Amino acid sequence: MTTSRARRAPEEARRLILDAAASLLGESGVAAVQMRAVAARVGMTDAGVAHHFGNREKLLAELLRHGGRRLRDALQDLLTSWLDHDADLLEFVEALHTLYRDGYGELAVALHAAGWRDPGSGMLDPVVDALHRLRPPGGSLDDTRLAVAALHQAMATEPLYGSDFRRSAGLTGAAADDSSAQVRWWARQLHSALGLRPDTAPGPRDPGSPEASGPPARAPG
């Protein structure tokens, strides 16, 4: 007996395919993201998936962009949290780390090695802008961008290479395998590179307060 398949709107079908591909990526890595596996997970035929994305390479490229959109949404939520609740910068670093730990770091490296390049730019501009406003007067905007770029690079490659690099520096066992200390270290380095106090995070300022006239002063010492 043949089971009929539900007809879905194109945008819904694309979303379901990308969500299924993202789940496979997070569970088992890039190698698990195959057209047949994705089709089985969403109840489609291989041809149905190919109809929406063409082939596996195009699906993987779109999956990476899907990850970028997830990251932008997460960052927007995080920036709102900063503005509303004085959230710590560590939360931003952890958000980057979490995204790439779910397989997007491996995906980005695999696509880059295959020759794919993302022409987009400025994904972290809201973060750069928010942090630059907190720097001491005269700070270079390019330095802020470089600091955020260095952090982004580190978080993207941490799931693939972090343990190996920690072992190369003499850390062993759980200390090498656990990324949490490294994530906290990067949050401290971002504070230091931008000249922020360790307890400083983006947040609202009373227009009548002394702080409203400029960024916070550099910490003593």
Question: Left if phi > 0, otherwise alpha if psi is -120 to 50, otherwise beta: which for 62?
Answer: alpha
Residue by residue, DSSP assigns 134-159 as TSPTT--HHHHHHHHHHHHHHHHHHH
- Detail the DSSP E strand segments found in the chain: none
User: Using the 8-state DSSP alphabet, how is residue 101 labeled?
Assistant: I
pLDDT tens per residue, range 25-38: 888 888 899 999 99
Q: Where are the domains of the chain?
A: 8-54, 61-213
Return all residues near 192 (Cβ < 8 A) that are at least 6 apart.
Answer: none
Task: From residue 164, give the alpha-carbon distance in Å to each of 45, 172, 191.
Answer: 40, 10, 26
Q: Report the percentage of the chain scoring pLDDT > 70.
A: 81
Kindly tell me if the per-residue pLDDT of 58 is higher than 50: yes
Burial (CB < 10 A; 0-12, 13-18, 19+), residue 82, is buried
User: Residue 130: which pLDDT band, with cuts at 50, 70 and 90?
Assistant: confident
pLDDT at 218 over 60: no
| Listed residue (66, 55, 95) closest to 183, CA to CA | 95
Name the residue with tokens 């590179």: 193
* Distance separating alpha carbons of residues 146 and 189, to the nearest angstrom: 13
Work out the pLDDT band at 198, boundaries 50, 70, 90.
Answer: low
- According to the model, what pLDDT value does residue 102 have? 80
pLDDT at 213: 36
pLDDT at residue 174 is higher than 60: yes
Rounded to 5 degrees, φ, ψ at 164 are -65, -45
What's the pLDDT at 103? 78
In this prediction, residue 59 has a pLDDT band, given cuts at 50, 70 and 90, of very high
Helix, strand, coil share of the chain (percent; to 5):
70, 0, 30
Which runs of E-coded beta strand occur in 45-137?
none
Residue 214 reports pLDDT greater than 70: no
Specify the CATH architecture of the domain 8-54.
Orthogonal Bundle (1.10)
Q: Which CATH number fits domain 61-213: 2.60.40, 1.10.357, 3.40.50, 1.20.1070?
A: 1.10.357
Which pair of structure tokens corresponds to residue 202?
């983006």
Q: Which residue matches tokens 């997070």?
A: 26
Compute and round to an integer the Cα radius of gyration of the chain.
21
- Are the CB atoms for 78 and 91 separated by under 8 Å? yes
